[in-house]
Structure 1
Amino acid sequence: MSGIVVVFDFDKTIVDVDSDNWVIDELGFTDLFNQLLPTMPWNSLMDKMMMELHSNGKTIEDIEEVLHRIPLHPRVIPAIQAAHTLGCDLRIVSDANMFFIETILKHLGIREYFSEISTNPGYVNEEERLRILPYHDFNKASHGCSLCPPNMCKGLIIDRIQDSILEEGKKRMIYLGDGSGDYCPSLRLKERDFMMPRKNFPVWDLICKDPLLVKAEIHGWSDGEELEQVLLHLINKISMEENAQFISSDCKLQTLSVSAHEDLPKVLPVRP
């Protein structure tokens, strides 16, 4: 099973809400956020909002407490645990930020299941204020993708992961996501991969406009229970296919061995 890489989006995929909105809403800054939203990119706005929280006396502990009670479906953690137990390489590609994601995963006790998290940097500075920076520094150069927000092209991240797993001998990828930012990576998947879009969410709607643009097999899901069912079904399907290929190739080797043996000249018994 080591040949399978499962890539999860985070917001509205692992957790059931947008973690940025959750923190802003729970700490009472929704109105200011909505007021500033038209004036700057989302990622830049989140950094500014963390400054506003700090200026108004909200601490890192306040943010952590809010993150610890973020809602998620009860079947998501068992799904992640099962995929990890079956030997899958689990990764996260998210337009949230490292501080939010790691705080939540550590609280849930599942951080160690993920070999890599690709997301916007998030860290606490010397003033005890949370800073949130862009994954791609668009102030220096554009990532060149018209489908994605300026701070992150998930498609480029998937390209890099695909290159790295080929070097490691891994073959298949399963990608789970919900948002419009998950559409670009869906177009980078190969024919032997699987795309799991959340039904009736932005990425589902984009894929449904022209499903043939996605080379991977498409398997939708609606909630954590269906996420678990579909994901484990696909892992099992890949496992069965790989076992069948192994048995088939093993049989061929045995047949070749027998054929080669039959072609050898017979040794006549030596008369005493």
Structure 2
Amino acid sequence: MAEIVVVFDFDKTIIDLDNDNWVVDEFGASDMFDQLVPTMTWNTVMDTMMKEIHARGKTMQDIEQVLKRAPVIPGVVPAIKAAHALGCDLKIVSDANLFFVETILEHSGIKDCFSEINTNSSYVDDEGKLRIRPYHDFDHKCNNPCPPNMCKGLIIERMQAASLAMEGNNNKKRMIYLGDGAGDFCPSLMLKEQDFLMPRKDFPMWKLMNENRQLIKEKIHGWIDGEELQHILLRIIKAITTIEEKQILSAVDHSKFQTIYSH
């Protein structure tokens, strides 16, 4: 059922907090972090904080152990596993970084459920420090409230273009997008009428969406917690599948009618 693409944000959509804040807080570096945030972009702040955490004698293994303690939203892991088992193509679009995201997904047993992880790049330098680099160049053009290092709308457009190039006008893929933050508003504007948006209620994306309803073309299904996320996501997948099955059966019946009539 690769006809359904499910795109997840990560922070406060899969895990129940912001993983950058979690790591900084766990290493007792919140004061320095709070001082830096007003002075530079978030992505640059996190790169700077990784240097500081390394200077305090913390290793990559220490960071990994902290990430493994990050709380995943109850109900989300079963939802992801179920959607994957049903044949959906699962992807992540997150303004975190690859090491943080992959570590948590691996620990939660769901990394292999995702065909694609779009997030800020990260690597370990020669001194053993985790370095974090932006996903997009800071001069990307976007009029929506996207951070300078990542426009999720551009990522969704790239996914849509890839599907169109592969399948042409016969492209029937439907997208389900789940998110919570202001940065998730831009990709919601890229979705089509046949797609679905699942914003987390009472979070920034929910507020922006309600203030700009006239710009939203896709169907909207809000959720509060992991249990509701799981219920709504699987219900949407089932509904899409049922429609597709009816269309296939109708096409088969029509083909049979043509064959009989031709005789």
Match of 1:196 in 2: 198
Aligned partner of 1:165 among 163, 166, 169: 163
The more displaced of 168-177 and 85-94 is 168-177
Q: 2:89, 2:114 within 8 Å by CA — same for their partners in 1?
A: yes
**Which residue pairs with 1:232 in the alignment?**
234
Q: Could you tell me which residue of structure 2 aligns to residue 42 of structure 1?
A: 42
Offset at 1:90?
Answer: 0.5
- Which residues of 2 match residues 1-272 of structure 1 at below 5 A? 1-138=1-138, 142-147=139-144, 148-166=146-164, 167=166, 169=171, 171-261=173-263
- Counterpart-to-counterpart distance in 1, 2:87 and 2:214: 31
- Shift, 1:210, TM fit: 2.4
For structure 2, list consecutive stretches of 5 or more residues without a partner in the other structure: none
TM, length-normalised to structure 2: 0.96
Identity level (%): 60
Q: Which stretch of structure 1 is more off in the superposition, 252-261 or 209-218?
A: 252-261
Cα shift at 1:2: 2.0
| Aligned partners of 2:2 and 2:173 also within 8 Å | no
The answer to whether the 8 Å contact 1:2/1:170 transfers is no
Deviations 1:135-190 (A, max 9, x none): 0122xxx1100211110000000000111123155511100000000000000001
8 Å CA contact retained: 1:5, 1:170: no
The 10-residue stretch of structure 1 (118-127 or 252-261) with the greater mean CA deviation from structure 2: 252-261
Separation (CA, whole Å) in 1 of partners of 2:222 and 2:242? 21
Q: SS of the residue aligned with 2:116?
A: strand
How far residue 108 of structure 1 moved from its aligned partner, in angstroms, is 1.3
Letter in 2 for 1:113: C
Q: Distance in 1 between matches of 2:27 and 2:156?
A: 34
Deviations 1:85-120 (CA, angstroms, capped at 9, x unpaired): 000000000000001001111111211110010100
Aligned-partner residue type, residue 217 of structure 2: K
Q: Which amino acid aligns with 2:143?
A: S
| Distance in 1 (alpha carbons) for counterparts of 2:2 and 2:99 | 29
- SS state at 2:143 partner: coil
Aligned equivalents of 1:18, 1:24: Cα separation in 2: 10
Q: Distance in 1 between matches of 2:49 and 2:40?
A: 12
1:212 CA drift (Å): 2.6
Contact 2:197-2:218 at 8 Å conserved across structures = yes
Q: Which runs of 4+ in 1 moved over 4 A?
A: none
| Structure 2 letter corresponding to 1:254 | K
- Aligned mates of 1:137, 1:102 — CA distance in 2: 22
Verify the 8 A CA contact 1:89 1:115 in the aligned structure 2.
yes
**Displacement of 1:258:** 2.2
SS where residue 39 of structure 1 aligns?
A: coil
Q: Distance in 1 between matches of 2:149 and 2:5?
A: 24
TM-score (norm 1): 0.92
The residue type equivalent to 2:252 in the other structure is D
Write the distance in 2 (CA, Å) between the matches of 1:120 and 1:137.
11
Count of residues in Structure 1 that have an aligned counterpart in Structure 2 = 258
Counterpart of 2:112, as a letter, is E
For 2:119, what is the secondary structure of its paired residue? strand
Q: Which has the larger radius of gyration?
A: 1
Residues 13 and 73, structure 2, Cα contact 8 Å, conserved in 1? no
1:27-59, CA deviations, whole angstroms, 9 ceiling, x for partnerless residues? 101111011110000000000010111111121
Deviation at 1:248, TM superposition (A): 1.3
